[in-house]
Amino acid sequence: MSGERTAAPATRSRVLTGAALGLVGGFTTTFLASAGQFVRPITGEFGWGRAEMSLVVVSATIGSAIGSPFAGRLVPRFGSRSLLVFSGALLAAAFVAFAVAPGEPAYFAVLAFFTGLLTVGTTPAVLLAVVPRFFDRRLGLALGAVMGGAAVGTALLQVVIGSTLADLGWRSTYLLLAGVAVVFLGVAALLGFPPGTGPRPDAKTAPQDGPAVREALRWPRLPLLLGAVFLAAIGTAGAAAHFVPFVIDQGIDPQAAAGASAVAGIGVAAGRLVTGALLDRVAATRLGGVVFLIAAAGLVVAAALPPSPVAVYAICAFAGSFAFGAEADLVPFLVRRYVGARAYTAVLGIGIGVFTLGGALGTIMFGLVFDGFGSYGPALSAAAAALAGATVVLRFLGPYRYPDATGPVPSPSGATVDAPARRAG
């Protein structure tokens, strides 16, 4: 029997609310999602190229990519709450260190690397670890609620960051982010971990299907799943990190660009909510492919446009950010349905690490292309090609290996197949 059937509604609500609040205050939102708004202020003050600032973001994402698989293995030993508290304190301290930083690229890069490495406890690799214990039949909807709620908070936070940057400068904005991390992560730690969210799941209520970690890692199609995640991250994360400077380069006022960034944030929220609601009804491989192709079209249009009104770029950003949001739901959902419950946290950590690594490559690609060509056009085209590649790879995963056991589920062909009985732990 699953925790979805036995846990009280208030308990399940606490799990979802705590995860969403933790994601808003965590590394992915406060550092990575806001990085694009810091590009011009910091490079302008220190006289850096954008590739140097991109290296800072890449250092952080590489640190996070390295740390995420370890976080996935530490959750069963220490629990999500302990990792959240530890990483949250370090994240707040890191923002203070950025606020007093000298104009040395090496200082920024090293600090960013250790920020990403040591704050993985505030990322989806940890905060989404317990969700499948309480939601299995409606896992897609639960993931969409968590990630969608976090995206709304992210969109609002981007507006606040843009205003603070304009009024007080980047150093004060980093101090603001330190406070955001303390408040949101503190509330998440207090609220979001009711009984049943400890280091090990309750064998009587939590799903126990699927192989152990070592066997799961030998699944022949796991590289395909991770490859699709990697390609989609290249296509979405790099464009997201450079969206604000790209729009400003088209002659748009910085504050208007921040407003367009908020539209992108709404696209992320919509992608997470809509995708989450559909994942329980539509095959994830088909849904992901459609979303990625729409995003690729938006990137191609943005690359081909002459300087246009900000609303046009906002529409393109919405399409790309919708896919970015959708992938946040797709990664944990695909891991759960193809790997099972027993190895879920470990493989999810690897999946999040692959996603951040792809995002790092995409981010530095955009910076290098701009410094080399004086334009983001070739990078936008390459990102669209990566998304198209992810669409193709998804089609080779086949039907779910561990679907919800309560009823029929869609296969990638669109037909339904009978759900097999859960394997014993």
**Which of 133-137, 153-157, 333-337, 392-396 is predicted least confidently?**
133-137
**More confident position, 154 or 70:** 70
- What residues have CB less than 8 Å from 312, skipping those under 6 apart? 305
Residues 72 and 125 sit within 8 Å (Cβ to Cβ): yes
First to last CA, the chain: 13
% of the chain residues with pLDDT over 70: 89
* pLDDT for the residue numbered 85: 93
Query: Which tokens is 376 given?
Result: 């983001």
- What residues have CB less than 8 Å from 159, skipping those under 6 apart? 258, 259, 262
Tokens 């979001």 found at: 192
* pLDDT for the residue numbered 178: 96
Distance CA 131, CA 3 (A): 10
Q: What is the mean pLDDT of residues 402-416?
A: 47
Distance CA 256, CA 252 (A): 7
Count helices and strands in the chain by DSSP H and E runs: 19, 2
Is the torsion defined by CA of 213, 217, 219, 221 positive or negative?
A: positive
Q: How many CA atoms lie within 13 A of 357 on its CB side?
A: 16
Query: Which tokens is 300 given?
Result: 């191609």
* pLDDT for the residue numbered 238: 77
* pLDDT for the residue numbered 174: 96
Residues 258 and 158 sit within 8 Å (Cβ to Cβ): yes
Q: Which of 55-69, 172-186, 399-413 has the highest mean pLDDT?
A: 172-186
Query: Which tokens is 367 given?
Result: 């910076």
* pLDDT for the residue numbered 129: 84
Residues 24 and 157 sit within 8 Å (Cβ to Cβ): yes
- Which CATH fold would you assign to the domain 9-198+206-406? Growth Hormone; Chain: A; (1.20.1250)
* pLDDT for the residue numbered 423: 38
Task: Please write down the HEC assignment for all residues of 287-301.
Answer: HHHHHHHHHHHHHHH
The pLDDT of residue 405 is above 50: no
Question: Could you tell me the pLDDT band of residue 420, with boundaries at 50, 70 and 90?
Answer: very low
Q: What are 7-18's pLDDT values in tens digits?
A: 677 788 888 999
The pLDDT of residue 417 is above 50: no
* Residue 204 CB burial class (10 angstroms; 0-12, 13-18, ≥19): exposed
- What residues have CB less than 8 Å from 204, skipping those under 6 apart? 1
Query: Which tokens is 155 given?
Result: 């969109």
* pLDDT for the residue numbered 322: 84
Q: What is the mean pLDDT of residues 255-272?
A: 76
Q: What are 62-97's pLDDT values in tens digits?
A: 899 899 999 988 888 888 888 999 999 999 999 999
Query: Which tokens is 273 given?
Result: 């909510």
Neighbours of 383 (CB within 10 A): 31
**More confident position, 410 or 292:** 292
**More confident position, 332 or 202:** 332
Compute the mean pLDDT over every residue in the chain, rounded to the nearest whole number.
Answer: 83
Question: Could you tell me the pLDDT band of residue 232, with boundaries at 50, 70 and 90?
Answer: very high
